[in-house]
Homo-oligomer: A and B are copies of this chain.
Amino acid sequence: MKNLIVASTSTIYNGNYLDYLTDALTEFFSETDEILFIPYARPGGISHDQYTEKASKAFEKLNKKVVGLHSFQDPVKAIKEAKGIFTGGGNTFVLVSSLYKNQVMESLREAIFNGTPYLGTSAGSNICGVSMKTTNDMPIVYPPSFKTLGVIPFNVNPHYLDPNPSSEHMGETRETRIKEFHTQNNIPVVGLREGSWLRVNGSSIVLEGEHNARIFKQGKDPVEVATSTSLSQLTL
């Protein structure tokens, strides 16, 4: 049975890495002492080792050991044998390219369908959707496909940002970008604000955290849904 936390961000304003998720993660990873960390998204370009060290420090507080997927000779086997998986944020194009290059996209999908607890933050959440076409990241590398895990039946937009009425910047708002997405695609999109996450249990998907989420469907006006709302019915 699928078992995921799909979080908008790893870190909220004025918080430390993963701190706001401590209670949720204690329960979520209660059946394992070791977490397989996928460091491929390399935020700010840091190395796989540096990134794994950062995740390790955060999980020390929960008495969990963290091992980096890059340290295994056989990453497919590592994913199959993992008792818990965490994919951190960074650049979604780099992450998806690395998942394909290391041929682990399919085994990661299988592990999630087989019930391995999976935590994603930011880019690690983007890949849970049908495609990575609603990432905010810069396309710094060309991945072989924008198709991602598809373990939830819609896309997410992490770090969802409301328009700033006092902004003088003329670049597109997040809402405009998602509207453009829907001129080319019919997959629903959940705008997940920082501090929100999706809790997936089998076919149940529930919005958690302190904020509303903004739901975008092709040809419809966006709607706000409150925390604790079920999004299980959000499909095409």
Contact = CB atoms under 8 A, between A and B. Distances in A.
Number of copies: 2
A135 B12 CA distance: 26
A177 B138 contact: yes
B176 A44 contact: yes
Given A44-B176, A179-B44, A179-B45, A141 B171 contact: no
Interface stretch (A60-68, A104-112, A180-188): A180-188
Contacts of A43: 172, 180
A139 interface: yes
B13 A178 contact: no
Name, among A12, A134, A184, the residue most crowded by chain B CB atoms within 10 Å (CB to CB).
A184
Interface string A73-116: 00000000000000000110110000000000000000000000
Interface in A136-185: 136-142, 145-146, 159, 161, 168-172, 176-185
Given A170-B13, A183-B42, A184-B94, A137 B177 contact: yes
A189 to B, nearest CB: 10
A199 interface: no
Given A44-B172, A138-B178, 14 more contacts: A11-B170, A43-B180, A44-B180, A45-B183, A90-B180, A91-B177, A94-B180, A133-B139, A133-B140, A136-B172, A138-B177, A140-B177, A142-B146, A159-B170
